[in-house]
Amino acid sequence: QVQLVESGGGSVQPGGSLRLSCTTSGFTYTYKCVTWFRQAPGKEREWVAALYGGGGDSYYADSVKGRFTISHDNAKNTTYLQMSSLRPEDTATYYCAADAGYGSCPNEPHPYKYWGQGTEVTVSS
């Protein structure tokens, strides 16, 4: 059984940093994507970043490019989202998702089979 558990959310001032973690169990990263989405209150779930194959190609939404970095630690079965230069518009619940099929890293939520419970990020002064 595949499980994803996010952690690392919290409250931070604009310009600050946070690192989110997505730890998996029962999941094989080979040829699969782990992706971060976020959802702000009253808004649709938004694609943030994706990492292919547990350390291969990475992809970023334009809104976070240059500020966020996605990475992976194989020994810990954990994918990270390092968020820097945070802005109030980054406030959202962040979700990790996994497995949209072999070789596929879509930027839409519905193809992903597995989801974590979400972790909240608040950026406010």
Confidence (pLDDT) at 86: 98
pLDDT by residue (tens digit) across 7-29?
999 999 999 999 999 999 998 88
28 beta partners: none
Residue 85, pLDDT above cutoff 90: yes
Six token digits for residue 79: 């994918």
Band of pLDDT at residue 55, cut at 50, 70 and 90: confident
Q: pLDDT band for 54, please (50, 70, 90 cuts).
A: confident
pLDDT at res. 29: 86
Rounded-to-integer distance, Cα 70 and Cα 55, Å: 9
Beta strands 10-12 and 119-123, pairing class: parallel
pLDDT band at 102 (very low <50, low <70, confident <90, very high): confident
% of the chain beyond a pLDDT of 90: 86
CA–CA distance, 100 with 108 (Å, rounded to integer): 10
